Amino acid sequence: SAVISQKPSRDICQRGTSLTIQCQVDSQVTMMFWYRQQPGQSLTLIATANQGSEATYESGFVIDKFPISRPNLTFSTLTVSNMSPEDSSIYLCSVVYRGGPYEQYFGPGTRLTVT
């Protein structure tokens, strides 16, 4: 299975600031996704991170609020911009491996609290 790491694992941030979350995978993956899980809720897809091009955002999520980069096949970042308390959530990176079965794995998540 995958070895997926995320940094930071948790953070407490002030309203109006921004936080960048990093996702690093141990080998090349075909697809990388960013999900959000709000307290007591299931997972919601934010966007698909595309290598070398702009991410594909889901309805309700925009690039200005959640800019995403994916410079290569093993690394991606998600920035949560101009944060408000409503952004308090767990943010999860998820991957599908290149050349493998189409199983999808999740990173350990970043727990964000906005005060």
Chain positions contacting another protein, by CB under 8 A: 1, 31, 33, 41-45, 48, 56, 58, 90, 92, 94, 96, 101-109
Rank residues 17 and 103 by Cβ distance to another protein and give the closer one.
Answer: 103
In whole angstroms, the minimum distance from the beta carbon of 53 to another protein comes to 12
Q: Is 90 helix (H, G, I), strand (E, B) or coil?
A: strand
Rank residues 27 and 84 by Cβ distance to another protein and give the closer one.
Answer: 27
Spatial neighbors of 56 by CB under 8 A, at least 6 apart, are: 47, 48, 50
Please provide residue 39's backbone torsions phi and psi, each rounded to the nearest 5 degrees.
-50, 125
